[in-house]
Amino acid sequence: MDEWLCEKIGSGGEPARGFVHADAAPRLLAEVSNEEILLDVKSFVGAERRSLARVIVYLVEIEERRLHLELACSSMFDFCTRKLGFSEGEAFRRLAAARLVRRLPVLLDAIASGRIHLSSLVLLRDLLTESNVDEIVAAASGKKKREVEELVARMAPKPDVQASIRKLPDRRPSSSTTSSQAPTPSRVPPSQLQAIAERRYKVQLTANEVLRDKLELARALMSHQNPSGDLAVIVERAVELLIEKLSKEKLGTTSRARRSKPSAKHGYVTHAARREAFERDGMQCSFVGENGERCPARSFLEIDHVTARALGGSGEAENLRVLCRAHNRDAAERVFGRSHVEARIRTSRKRSTRRPDRNAPSAGPPSVSQRKCNDARAATSTASTSFIGETRHVAPEQTQDGDARKHVRTALLSLGFRGSEADRALLVIDRKEYDEPWRRPIETLVCEALGILT
């Protein structure tokens, strides 16, 4: 253990094996007395807690500045696990604490002093407010996790669970697993995908009665191809069909692929153009950071215009790229400003809460016209996160005054503003004391108009 308890001697020196610093003088660990070891370890723990508090402060600042996006990370969780080397649990607890500290800065002192640990903060995060934070921290200080759980139960009691009797699963090992695998203890919560052998995984879920009936029907229909009724065979075939269907809907894949043609509607993305973009970029965010590393995100992918549609960008494949939602929004904020993007998101969310539920299950599949209407509504309601085409660099463009006004007005209308609002912004720009105000780049004019309206 000596090599783990050493410190560097001098600046830039190599670790001295078997040495520790006691009273600023390097000494062999064997020469340190029992009393000094106990005092030192307390000092080290205190330094560790203060260091943890500093890490949390820096995580708050990194998220605020969106620095993780520049390093090709799609989220702060991705940054913490992939760049900082935290485990999933460590990353979750530190990020939960960072977001609490941003809202309640007084918690930082409690963390640095050791009065409360991160596991307790995770349990208490939904109860903490500005008015009760001191009281709750005092009540949770020095308590174990089980005691904090009891504190949460007292402060936010839940109704009693209904008594029930249910059949437990058969404890015999499944035929799809190797006999050498020991059963997992029931007290250990299983993960959704758990490796049990080389290239073999355990998948576990809770199904309702409808899904159970569907699985039984599929088992019966596949009885000739799958005589044993192996559920894994059924799920694999079902997932294959689902991927094929979603690939057609979301990626525009087809057995008779044709090169995309320009859409008659300016900036509109056709299925063929979408397909070409995904084939080129793959099912992965195409953002590449300054370090040359590509964002690994494969979920929540969106099509983005390299030159913004609102700034005249076309919907052809050459002007499209695949980005994750986080990098797509970051690109939008770089062009239109964070305040405007956040305002549009808030507006969109308010509209969606007022709108009646159109996703309620119907008697049958929607018609083609219904699907088109739903797609149009979705495009309108998600305008905040689909600033599809926000770009970092737009080349300056000199235009005639009338053309510039037309471009800016069209851009504002495409971003959801009313005609009267767009005209008001144009009038304000007209009255600005600029030399030839409409001779500036279109991007500059659009951003100025957004500043007037938001």
Digit-coded pLDDT (tens) for 37-94: 999 999 999 999 999 999 999 999 999 999 999 999 999 999 999 999 999 999 999 9
What's the chain's length in residues? 454
DSSP state of 349: H
Which of 155, 187, 222 marks a domain boundary?
A: 155
- Residue 118: its pLDDT value, please? 94
The pLDDT of residue 371 is 46
* 289: in domain: no
Phi, psi of 196 (to 5 degrees): -120, -15
46 and 137 both lie in a single domain: yes
Read off the amino acid at residue 362.
Answer: S
Measured CA to CA, the distance from residue 185 to residue 188 in angstroms comes to 6
pLDDT at residue 164 greater than cutoff 80: no
For residues 27 and 66, membership in a common domain is answered with: no
In a domain, 387, yes or no: no
Where is pLDDT greater, at 166 or 428?
Answer: 428
pLDDT interval class at 7 (50, 70, 90): very low
The per-residue b/e assignment along 20-56, b for 16 or more CB within 10 angstroms, e otherwise, is bebeeeeeebeeeeeeeeeebeeeeeeeebeebbebb
Task: Judge if 131 and 50 occupy the same domain.
Answer: yes
Closest CA to 386 of 375, 397, 394: 375
Q: Which of 228, 219, 223 is nearest to 174 (CA)?
A: 228
Q: Give domain status of residue 60, yes or no.
A: yes
Q: CB 217: neighbour CB atoms within 10 A?
A: 10
What's the total number of domains in the chain?
A: 4
Question: Band of the pLDDT at 4, cuts 50, 70, 90?
Answer: very low
Among 216, 233, 251, where does a domain finish? Answer: 251
Q: Is residue 48 one of the residues assigned to a domain?
A: yes
The answer to whether residues 150 and 43 belong to one domain is: yes
Dist. CA 346–CA 454, nearest whole Å? 12
Same domain, yes or no: 52 and 125: yes
Helices (H) and strands (E) in the chain, counts: 17, 6
Q: Are residues 19 and 106 in the same domain?
A: no
Q: Mean pLDDT in the chain? A: 76
CA nearest 133: which of 99, 157, 104, 95? Answer: 104
Give CA 135 to chain center in angstroms. 33
Same domain (yes/no): 130, 45: yes
Q: Which of these ranges, 116-120, 196-200, 374-378, has the smallest mean pLDDT? A: 374-378
Asked whether the CA dihedral 177, 183, 184, 186 is positive or negative, the reply is: positive
User: Domain containing 81: what range?
Assistant: 39-155
**Residues 65, 127 within the same domain:** yes
Tens of pLDDT, residue by residue over 308-364, are 888 888 888 899 999 999 999 999 888 888 888 888 888 877 776 665 554 444 444
Across the range 385-404, mean pLDDT stands at 45
Q: How far apart, in whole angstroms, are the C-alpha atoms of residue 146 and residue 23?
A: 38
pLDDT band at 181 (very low <50, low <70, confident <90, very high): very low
Q: Identify whether residues 63 and 121 lie together within a single domain.
A: yes
pLDDT at 112: 94
238 belongs to a structural domain: yes
Same structural domain, 79 and 146:
yes
Which parts of 136-208 are beta strand (E)? 193-197, 200-203
In a domain, 361, yes or no: no
For residue 232, tell me if it sits in a domain: yes
Mean pLDDT, to the nearest integer, of 282-286? 89
Cβ atoms of 155 and 125 within 8 Å: the answer is: no
The separation between CA 238 and the C-alpha centre of its own chain, rounded to angstroms, equals 27
Q: Which of 192, 223, 251 is the last residue of a domain?
A: 251
pLDDT digits (tens, 9 = 90+) for 216-228: 888 888 888 888 8
| pLDDT reported for residue 64 | 93
Round to whole Å and give the CA distance between 144 and 270: 57
In the chain, what is the greatest distance between 2 CA atoms, to the nearest angstrom? 85
Tokens for 196?
């049990």
pLDDT of residue 133: 94
- Cα-based torsion angle of the residue sequence 287, 335, 443, 284 in order, rounded to the nearest 10 degrees: 20
Assess whether 131 and 45 both reside in one domain: yes
- Of these ranges, 26-30, 91-95, 205-209, 419-423, the one predicted with the greatest mean pLDDT is 91-95
Exposed/middle/buried for residue 202 (C-beta within 10 Å: 0-12, 13-18, 19+): middle
Do 70 and 12 reside in the same domain of the chain? Answer: no
Is 302 a member of any domain? no
Between 9 and 294, the higher pLDDT residue: 294
Is the model's pLDDT at 23 over the cut of 60? Answer: no
